[in-house]
Amino acid sequence: MGYYNKVVMEQGDPPQCLGIDWGKYNDMPTPWKRITRDEFDVLFHCNAYSIQWMDYKQTYNPEDKEKDWHAPVAATHIYMFGGRGVCLAVRESYINEEQARKLKADWIGNDKYYGYALQYYRIGCQHEHTEDRGRYMFDHLIHCKDCGWSGAMTRQAKEPKQ
């Protein structure tokens, strides 16, 4: 068993920070914002030292307004980088390419008909109303006026270049 899996099992409940409402078991945590794979890659790989908490759950499509008990769910991996004020999620569905286009998801075909559709999300506060509290090495010390989070954020990694 890996170190982070052990930490998650011992930790239990998700961290209560960044203004996140974790919802019921099959709900995507809110608030959420759909992001591109490039934005996800920058936030995941360039914005923190290590994952502080992670989880797996099956979630309804958060963009589907009509949720009912027989709606399809998708495997969702959630990663919390609390030290940098970032929580990310990836939804993974095993569907055909046409269904992936309807979801506006990245599709990675692994056979003739089916493949993985990936959707990327940033969960929690987007830290749009922050105040800069000085510098520490290459980072800016930031305080979010919306959710109260304080920490270091590398300016280059905050907004990915398009």
Task: List, for residues 68-116, the tens digit of each pLDDT value.
Answer: 656 678 899 998 876 667 788 888 888 888 888 888 888 887 666 788 8
Report the C-alpha gap between 79 and 90 in whole angstroms: 9
Element (H, E) at 67: none
pTM (predicted TM-score): 0.74
Extract the runs of DSSP E, i.e. beta strands, from the chain: 32-35, 53-60, 73-81, 86-96, 106-109, 114-123, 130-136, 139-144, 150-153
Number of other residues whose CB lies within 10 A of the CB of residue 60 = 21
**Residue 148: left (phi > 0), alpha (psi -120 to 50), or beta?**
left
Q: Strand 73-81 relative to strand 139-144: parallel, antiparallel, unpaired? A: unpaired
Give the start-to-end residue ranges of the domains of the chain: 3-127
pLDDT computed for residue 88 by the predictor: 85
* Poorest-pLDDT segment among 15-19, 59-63, 133-137, 157-161: 157-161
Of 71, 111, 106, 110, give the one whose Cα is nearest residue 92.
Answer: 106
Report the C-alpha gap between 132 and 115 in whole angstroms: 44
Report yes or no: 102 and 84 within 8 Å, Cβ to Cβ. no
Greater confidence, 127 or 112? Answer: 127
Cα end-to-end span (Å), the chain: 38
Number of other residues whose CB lies within 10 A of the CB of residue 101 = 11
pLDDT tens, 44-73?
A: 887 666 787 888 889 888 887 666 656 678
